[in-house]
């Protein structure tokens, strides 16, 4: 029997430190350490994030190897997130991966974090059905830092069809939560509160951007002005209407996302539709994609919740396909913080 490909993945782009081991694309372990320290500040503090990564990375990697029952000598390659993300955070993962590569003699494979979110649909688990999209498919990538529609032609061939020209949709969720005093990260709290509210109680300004691009700064401002005006009339407005505001704002955000996704599907004729990234954990978005899919004859792919947030299994799966194609990185590889500058 041919030897199985073993990839160790390391993720440290934002505020989650994670390490995973994959065997021919099957998960053997996926260990995560998230950082609660940012909650009290209402957002990720880069300096604190890098410090926490430094503390977490060694225990995470050893635990991932231990759970997988593997030693470094069993590993074929070390896949790590090169970017995009917070530079200080990325530096911790990159430096650690390099050190490990030198000490173990195993090759390095750099991974684009966004491709990780997209390819998370190809991570396999023993004993599960493991559905994955066929090529080409459309991926709606929605996270705290990015909002994109990507045409995926093959494991490592991506075409950006549209992206946000200002804020990411996750930022809109987080900003709304901040205005309502709900803490950080905002998405999960809004999602929960929205379940008790009326999604048609109020409407906010929708963007009018041509083509497949997105914009979320206008709707954020629209919410801000709306709340200001209402609070002048009634200082308890937010307290009394929290659930309705959440439900309505969330519906508008999802409408904006769906409008361009539907357009992209029409323009390309592609009916394999996948979502990924932190915001793909949103219950209403997950429901809408399935409903639209049934209506429009799409085959839809919704990641399990555990693969929506940043995790190293998604980095390892990209590493797996890159390694199979011989795409390893040299030891002088440096992190790249911005997506626009990183197409690898
Ligand atoms: O992909 P991710 O974990 O980190 C980035 O790469 O940015 O995404 C984090 C984002 C945050 O903005 C968070 O509020 C949002 O995902 N999020 C959600 C939900 N869970 C997380 N947004 C809406 N509904 C959710 N259930
Ligand atoms: Zn992410």
pLDDT band at residue 184 using 50, 70 and 90 as cut-offs: confident
Share of the chain above pLDDT 70, in %: 100
* Model confidence pLDDT, tens digit, residues 272-312: 999 999 999 999 999 999 999 999 999 999 999 999 999 99
Which pLDDT value is given to residue 53?
Answer: 86
pLDDT band at residue 14 using 50, 70 and 90 as cut-offs: confident
What share of residues in the chain are helix, strand, coil (percent, to 5)?
50, 20, 30
* Model confidence pLDDT, tens digit, residues 22-56: 999 999 999 998 777 777 777 788 878 888 888 99
Share of the chain above pLDDT 90, in %: 88
Rounded mean pLDDT, 200-229: 96
Rounded mean pLDDT, 81-105: 96
Atom of ligand 1 nearest to the CA of 13: 6
Same-domain status, 188 and 95: no
* Model confidence pLDDT, tens digit, residues 232-243: 999 999 999 999
Which pLDDT value is given to residue 342?
Answer: 76
- 330: in domain: yes
- pLDDT of residue 85 exceeding 80, the answer is yes
How far is the C-alpha of 335 from the C-alpha of 17, rounded, in Å?
16
Same-domain status, 34 and 145: no
CB 333 within 8 A of CB 94: yes
The SS3 assignment for 15 reads coil
CA–centroid distance, 1 to ligand 1, in Å, is 41
Q: Which of 101, 35, 167, 77 is nearest to 332 (CA)?
A: 101
Same-domain status, 170 and 285: yes
The SS3 assignment for 276 reads strand
- 1: in domain: no
**307 class by beta-carbon count within 10 Å (0-12 exposed, 13-18 middle, 19+ buried):** buried
- Which ligand is in closest contact with the Cα of 253? 1
CA 3 to chain centroid: 31
How far is the C-alpha of 22 from the C-alpha of 68, rounded, in Å?
8
CA–centroid distance, 217 to ligand 2, in Å, is 20
Q: Model-level pTM? A: 0.95
Which pLDDT value is given to residue 142?
Answer: 97
- 275: in domain: yes
Q: Which of 104, 90, 24, 86 is nearest to 57 (CA)?
A: 90
Same-domain status, 218 and 179: yes
Same-domain status, 107 and 220: no
Which pLDDT value is given to residue 162?
Answer: 97
Same-domain status, 180 and 327: no
- pLDDT of residue 82 exceeding 90, the answer is yes
Give ligand 1 pocket residues (Cβ under 6 A): 14, 143-145, 170, 173-174, 185-188, 191, 277-279, 281-282, 309-310
Which pLDDT value is given to residue 39?
Answer: 74
Name the DSSP class of 71.
Answer: -
CA–centroid distance, 308 to ligand 1, in Å, is 8
Q: Tell me which of 32, 119, 146, 187 to substitute to probe ligand 1's pocket, judged by most ligand atoms within 8 Å of the beta carbon.
A: 187
Range of the domain at 260: 137-304
Q: Which of 14, 309, 260, 279 is nearest to 169 (CA)?
A: 279
Same-domain status, 12 and 97: yes
Same-domain status, 336 and 290: no
Q: What is the CATH number of the domain that holds 253?
A: 3.30.420.40
Which pLDDT value is given to residue 40?
Answer: 73
* Count of domains forming the chain: 2
The SS3 assignment for 112 reads strand
Q: Which of 338, 273, 281 is nearest to 309 (CA)?
A: 281
- pLDDT of residue 204 exceeding 90, the answer is yes
Atom of ligand 1 nearest to the CA of 277: 1
Q: Tell me which of 173, 278, 281 to substitute to probe ligand 1's pocket, judged by most ligand atoms within 8 Å of the beta carbon.
A: 278
Same-domain status, 293 and 146: yes
CA–centroid distance, 159 to ligand 2, in Å, is 18
Q: How high is the mean pLDDT of the chain?
A: 95
Beta-strand pair 16-23/108-112: unpaired
- 143 Cβ partners below 8 Å, 6+ apart? 117, 168, 170, 277, 278, 279
Same-domain status, 273 and 193: yes
């Amino acid at each position: 029997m041919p030897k199985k490909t073993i990839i160790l993945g390391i993720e440290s782009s934002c505020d989650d430190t994670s390490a995973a081991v994959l065997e021919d694309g099957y998960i053997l372990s996926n260990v995560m350490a998230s950082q609660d320290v940012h909650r009290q500040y209402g957002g990720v503090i880069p300096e604190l994030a890098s410090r926490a990564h430094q503390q977490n990375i060694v225990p995470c990697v050893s635990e991932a190897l231990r759970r997988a029952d593997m030693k470094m000598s069993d590993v074929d390659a070390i896949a790590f997130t090169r970017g995009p993300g917070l530079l200080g955070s990325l530096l911790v993962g990159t430096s650690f991966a390099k050190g490990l590569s030198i000490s173990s003699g195993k090759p390095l494979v750099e991974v684009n974090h966004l491709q990780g979110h997209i390819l998370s649909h190809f991570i396999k688990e023993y004993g599960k059905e493991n559905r994955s999209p066929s090529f080409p498919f459309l991926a709606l990538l929605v996270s705290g830092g990015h909002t994109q529609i990507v045409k995926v032609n093959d494991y490592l061939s991506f075409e950006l069809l549209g992206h946000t020209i200002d804020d990411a949709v996750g930022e809109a969720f987080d900003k709304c939560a901040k205005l309502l005093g709900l803490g950080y990260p905002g998405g999960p709290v809004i999602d929960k509160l929205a379940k008790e509210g009326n999604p048609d109680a109020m409407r906010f300004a929708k963007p009018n951007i041509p083509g497949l691009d997105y914009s979320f700064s206008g709707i954020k401002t629209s919410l801000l002005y709306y709340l200001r005006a209402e609070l002048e009339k009634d200082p308890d407005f937010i307290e009394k209407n929290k659930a309705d505001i959440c439900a309505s704002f969330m519906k508008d955000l999802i409408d904006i996302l769906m409008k361009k996704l539907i357009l992209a599907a029409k323009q390309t004729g592609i009916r394999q539709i996948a979502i990924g990234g932190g915001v793909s954990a949103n219950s209403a978005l997950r429901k809408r994609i399935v409903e639209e899919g049934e209506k429009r004859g799409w085959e839809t792919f919704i990641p399990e919740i555990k693969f929506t947030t940043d995790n190293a299994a998604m980095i390892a799966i990209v590493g797996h396909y890159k390694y199979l194609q011989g795409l390893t990185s040299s030891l002088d590889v440096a992190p790249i913080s911005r997506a626009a500058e990183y197409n690898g």
